[in-house]
Amino acid sequence: LAASWNAVLLLDEADAFLEKRVDTAGARERNKRVAAFLRILEYYKGILILTTNRIVKFDEAFHSRIHLTLPFQPLDQKCRENIWRNFLKGADVSDSDVRSFAAEALNGRQIKNVMKMARLLAKDEESALSASQIRDVMTVVLSDGQERDEGGLVGSES
């Protein structure tokens, strides 16, 4: 349908369709899905954009069918600083705080999640968002390294 409309088709988190096939009993359905997607990709006439964070998990057969791969490098400090500033518009946070936040090697999604949690913390404390609340959330993210995409932090349960 996308090709007939001359539309660009985006398949976000494509790993689900492109994972390496394996010879285990439980992988039969996944292997069938991968094989079907290989056939579709082979003859697709339009522009298809696949996104993934896990290209190493792709089945080898896909690499020859993908015409162009655009890797994204980790953000540098200046890019992170711009992202922080964008999320902090209207907040009373100093430039030095923004620079210190940007010194941590977080990606855009992690920064968004930190901000979401810090705003929730500020709301819970019935206060304006502060650098201290952001630091508290960052401490958890950096020490634990686990987070959910929705912004909630996953901690170890005792």
Asked whether the predicted pLDDT for residue 63 surpasses 60, the reply is yes
Domains in the chain and their CATH numbers? 8-63 (no CATH), 77-144 (1.10.8.60)
What per-residue confidence (pLDDT) applies to 154?
A: 43
- pLDDT band at residue 104 under the 50/70/90 scheme: very high
SS3 56: helix
* 21-45 mean pLDDT: 81
pLDDT of residue 157: 36
User: Would you say residue 145 has pLDDT above 60?
Assistant: no
The confidence score (pLDDT) of residue 56 equals: 64
Element (H, E) at 8: strand 8-11
- Mean of all residue pLDDT scores within the chain: 84
CB-CB contact of 131 with 93 (8 Å): yes
Count CA within 13 A, CB hemisphere, residue 102: 21
Residue 48: strand pairing partners: 9
